[in-house]
Each structure stands twice: as structure tokens, then as C-alpha cells.
Chain A
Amino acid sequence: MSEYVGIVIFFVLAGTVAGAFVALGSVLGPKKPSAVKSEAFECGEVAFSLPVGHVAVKFYLTAILFILFDVELVFVYPWAVAFRGLGASGLVEMVVFLGILMAGFFYAWDNGALEWH
């Protein structure tokens, strides 16, 4: 139980500091909403169309690839922390895990998913 106290204190501190800034900002800052202020800012001109509606599929593809390969890091971190205790078998498991991941990456790379056009 005791080692979790550190994490709790960390989150409490983060919460209060962030909350304080937001609260002070909204309380002390003067607010004068106006019609023009709520419109989208497009370099000083009236925006043609807000970027609503369909977006090119390329953005979606890149975003998915990023999430795929970035989330894997979540598994690598605890492994790295407990690396001493796991010994050789832990190393082999991680190599296999990363191997599968890299195979997927090379497949995507080969297919040109990373190219933009």
C-alpha cells in the first residue's frame, strides 16, 4: 500500500496546480464575448468553410499507424523497469514481441502506407 502513496501525492499535486491555473484564469480574466470573437480565426479573413465534413483518408491512415506503434511502448516500459528480475527469458520474450511488431512495421513500410501521395 505504502508505495502507492507517492503516486497519489503526485496526482493530487498535479491536479491542484492545473486546477488553480484554470480557475484563476477564468475568475480573474475579464470576459467580453462578442459575435466576431466566436468566429473561427482564419488569418483575418472570413473563413470559407469550417473544416467539417470528410477529411482525406491519408490523415486517418497515418494516425492509426502512429497509435499502433506508439502504444507498444506502454508494454516496454514496465519490462524495462523490471528487467533485472526477469533474467534471460524476459529478454527473449521481449525480442519475440518486438520482432512481431517490426514485421508488421516492415509490411506497412513496404506497402507504401508511410508515403504520403
Chain B
Amino acid sequence: MSDHAGFFTSRLDEALGWARKFSIFQYPFVTACCGMEYMATACSHYDVDRFGAGLPRFSPRQADVLFVVGTISHKMAPVLVRIYEQMAEPKWVVSFGVCTCTGGFYDNYATVMGIDTIIPVDVYIPGCPPRPEYVLDGLLKLQAKIQAQHSSGQRPAAEIRPELERPVFD
């Protein structure tokens, strides 16, 4: 019986994964220079709409994927966490650009060194700014992840990076 049910639920998972994968409503949390490259990716030349992810929704209630685009400073971090928590399940996070992956070359008092220290991230797109082709590749990786996900949408617990002590030099 269980494999019969298993057959049924796995078929359902695949159908759900397929439906979610090609109808990504993205919340572009744009702050800095990567926003220009995000514009170029979303517009007609590199067209993100070919992958079904063309509709930006500026409210976390209607968005599936949170595109964190551009440097997140410590003043912006609480806003980002609040918006992430207000997003409806199932939700994913894409960290767009090296400033969101690891803080980039702004290793100073003002910048959050990587947003995965404050919210769980699914796909990292490095690059400063990443070329539109990187972004589309990142999107494909996200879609593969969505397809392979269990229908209940729960994700592996986000591994927050180990506490690494850094030399404080003036």
C-alpha cells in the first residue's frame, strides 16, 4: 500500500514541482548595482520571462522567490529579515551578486557579510554584478531545486555559516 501511496504522492510532487517551477513570482529586493544587471536580465534582451519568472511582485504576500539583489547593509538587515518572514510558504531565496553571497569587497563596519548569516538562502549567484547569463543559470538551478522538492515544501534546515573570527586591522 505504501508504495502505491508513494507512487501517487511522488506523481503529485512532480506535478506540483513542475507547476511551481514554471510560475515563479519573484520579489526583487533591489538595493544596489546588481539592480542594473537585474533590469537587463528582466528586460527584452536576456528576458527572464522565457523561464516563467518574468512577473515581479512587490509584495511578499504574492511572491514565491525572494531575489536579494545588491549589498545589504546592517541598517537594511532587519527590513530584509522582516520581509522574508512575511513571505508565504513555499518560499525560496536567491542571493544575487557577491555582496549578498559573502559581502563582496565591502569588508567593513557597514555591510552584512553574506545574507545567509541572517536568512536561509537556496541559490547563490556570484559575480559583481553577475552577467545576465549567470543569473539565468542560477534561475535554472533554482528551478531544478523546486522540481526536486517534496510537495510539503519544507526545506532542509538552513546551515548558518560557522562563526569565523576575523583579524581586526585598522
A residues contacting B by CB (< 8 A) are 28-32, 34, 36-37, 39, 41, 43-45
Chain A contacts for B16, CB-based, 8 A: 28
Interface SS majority for chain A: loop
**Min distance, Cβ A9 to any Cβ of chain B, angstroms:** 27
Decide: B152 and A30 in contact? CB cutoff 8 A: yes
Chain A contacts for B137, CB-based, 8 A: none
Decide yes or no whether B82 CB sits under 8 A from chain A. Answer: yes
* Chain B residues bordering chain A, tally (CB within 8 A): 18
B residues contacting A by CB (< 8 A) are 12, 16, 59-61, 79-80, 82-83, 85-86, 88-90, 151-154
Known: A28-B151, A29-B153, A30-B153. A44 touches B79 (CB 8 A): yes
Known: A30-B152, A36-B82. A41 touches B59 (CB 8 A): yes
**Min distance, Cβ A35 to any Cβ of chain B, angstroms:** 9
Known: A44-B79, A44-B80, A45-B79. A31 touches B89 (CB 8 A): yes
Known: A44-B79, A44-B80, A45-B79. A39 touches B86 (CB 8 A): yes
**Min distance, Cβ A82 to any Cβ of chain B, angstroms:** 42
Chain B contacts for A44, CB-based, 8 A: 79-80, 82-83
Closest chain A residue to B79, Cβ basis: A44
Closest chain B residue to A46, Cβ basis: B82
Decide: B86 and A30 in contact? CB cutoff 8 A: no
Docked pose: A34 CA to B89 CA in angstroms: 11
Decide: B153 and A37 in contact? CB cutoff 8 A: no
Decide: A30 and B61 in contact? CB cutoff 8 A: no
Closest chain B residue to A37, Cβ basis: B86
Decide: B90 and A30 in contact? CB cutoff 8 A: yes
Closest chain A residue to B59, Cβ basis: A41
Docked pose: A34 CA to B88 CA in angstroms: 10
Docked pose: A86 CA to B43 CA in angstroms: 53
Docked pose: A36 CA to B85 CA in angstroms: 7
Chain B contacts for A30, CB-based, 8 A: 89-90, 152-154
